[in-house]
């Protein structure tokens, strides 16, 4: 037989002294003809068995276990001699070590997956926090910039809506208690110029709690506008208002 026909387990069984009959003769022939490769594998097997043997107590299996084993294999092959007590102990220890190693590997893999998921969640939270911080920094820059004007939209009983408009840095719309929109609808902000049609200043949907914070660059100076207005439009927006303004904030 060639070297590839004998698995490491066969070497282990030979060292344990449980090979018999034709298997034993074939393996002994293999060792005689296999040269240095076969001897090297045998040395490895002896080392493995010796290490596992340190974990196994010498136990004598129950008599009925040996009898049941012999009866189970009797129809297909000739009877074998009983395993030595040490062989039974080593086999049990090897099975225990393999089971513990498999359980430990599964546990470590689960722990590694949990750590990876926590790291991914933390990365997402960090990105969201950084984006929110950038937004608030832009809002602060616009609100505090020289030349920024403040525009209040709506009546006293309307949602709190304020716009802060700086010619160089753009416009901030901030509000709360905004009414919930119907599906597939959105609010659209318009700049009403002193001359010409309304100009789109952005489409938005409030947060579930009614808050809104929107930053938009505008190509029109506050001095050229007469008002800001908000209408209810399709969620993708409209080129021109399709409904009457819900909230209006006059300029000047």
Q: Examine residue 103 and state whether it is found in any structural domain, yes or no.
A: no
N residues, the chain: 252
Domain co-membership, 154 together with 244? yes
pLDDT at 1: 43
Q: Which among 203, 200, 201, 154 is positioned nearest to 177, based on CA atoms?
A: 154
Q: Which two tokens stand for residue 94?
A: 């090897």
Residue 84 φ then ψ, to 5°? -65, 155
Instruction: Judge whether 132 lies within some domain.
Output: no
Listed residue (173, 229, 182, 183) closest to 204, CA to CA: 173
Tokens describing residue 229: 């207005």
Contact status, residue 139 vs residue 213, Cβ threshold 8 Å: yes
Decide: residue 224, CB within 10 A, 0-12 exposed, 13-18 middle, 19+ buried.
Answer: middle
Q: Of 98, 115, 138, which residue sits at a domain end?
A: 98
Instruction: Please tell me the predicted confidence (pLDDT) of residue 2.
Output: 46
168 and 93 inside one domain: no
Judge if 174 and 233 occupy the same domain.
yes
Residue 58 counted as domain residue: yes
Task: Provide the residue range defining the domain that includes 11.
Answer: 3-98
Please check whether residue 174 lies inside any domain of the structure. yes
Structural domain contains residue 77: yes
Q: Is residue 84 part of a domain?
A: yes
Q: Quick one: pLDDT at residue 69?
A: 57
Which of 66, 98, 130 is the last residue before a domain boundary? 98
Per the domain annotation, does 221 fall within a domain?
A: yes
pLDDT on residue 233: 97
Number of domains in the chain: 2
What CATH number is given to the structural domain containing 178? 2.60.40
pLDDT in tens, the chain (252 residues): 444 467 888 887 887 787 888 888 888 888 888 778 888 888 887 877 776 655 545 555 566 656 665 666 555 554 455 556 666 677 777 777 777 777 777 787 887 788 878 888 887 887 777 777 878 888 888 988 899 999 998 765 678 899 999 999 999 999 998 998 999 999 999 999 999 999 999 999 999 999 999 999 987 889 899 999 999 999 999 999 999 999 999 986
User: Global pTM?
Assistant: 0.51
Question: Is the same domain home to 246 and 159?
Answer: yes
CB distance 193 to 225 below 8 Å: yes
Is residue 164 domain-shared with residue 235, that is, in the same domain?
A: yes
DSSP helix/strand/coil, 42 = helix
C-alpha span between 252 and 194 (Å, rounded) = 11
Query: 141 lies in a domain?
Result: no
The gap between the terminal CA atoms of the chain, to the nearest Å, is 101
């Amino acid at each position: 037989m060639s070297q590839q026909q004998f698995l490491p387990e066969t070497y282990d069984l030979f060292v344990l002294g449980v090979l018999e009959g034709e298997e034993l003769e074939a393996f002994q022939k293999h060792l005689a003809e296999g040269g240095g490769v076969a001897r090297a594998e045998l040395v490895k097997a002896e080392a493995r068995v010796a290490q596992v043997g340190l974990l196994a107590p010498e136990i004598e299996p129950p008599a009925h276990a040996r009898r049941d084993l012999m009866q189970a294999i009797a129809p297909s092959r000739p009877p074998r001699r009983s395993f030595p007590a040490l062989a039974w102990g080593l086999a049990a220890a090897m099975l225990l070590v393999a089971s513990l190693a498999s359980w430990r590997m599964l546990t470590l893999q689960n722990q590694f997956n949990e750590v990876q998921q926590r790291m991914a969640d933390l990365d997402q939270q960090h990105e969201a926090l950084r984006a929110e911080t950038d937004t608030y920094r832009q809002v602060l820059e616009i609100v505090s910039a020289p030349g920024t004007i403040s525009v209040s939209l709506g009546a006293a009983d309307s949602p709190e809506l304020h716009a802060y408009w700086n010619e160089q840095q753009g416009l901030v719309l901030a509000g709360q208690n905004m009414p919930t929109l119907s599906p597939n609808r959105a609010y659209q902000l318009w700049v009403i110029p002193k001359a010409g049609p309304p100009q789109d200043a952005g489409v938005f949907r409030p947060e579930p709690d009614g808050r809104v914070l929107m930053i938009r660059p505008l190509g029109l100076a506050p001095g050229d506008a007469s008002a800001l207005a908000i209408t209810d439009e399709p969620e993708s927006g409209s080129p021109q208002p399709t409904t009457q303004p819900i909230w209006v904030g006059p300029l000047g």
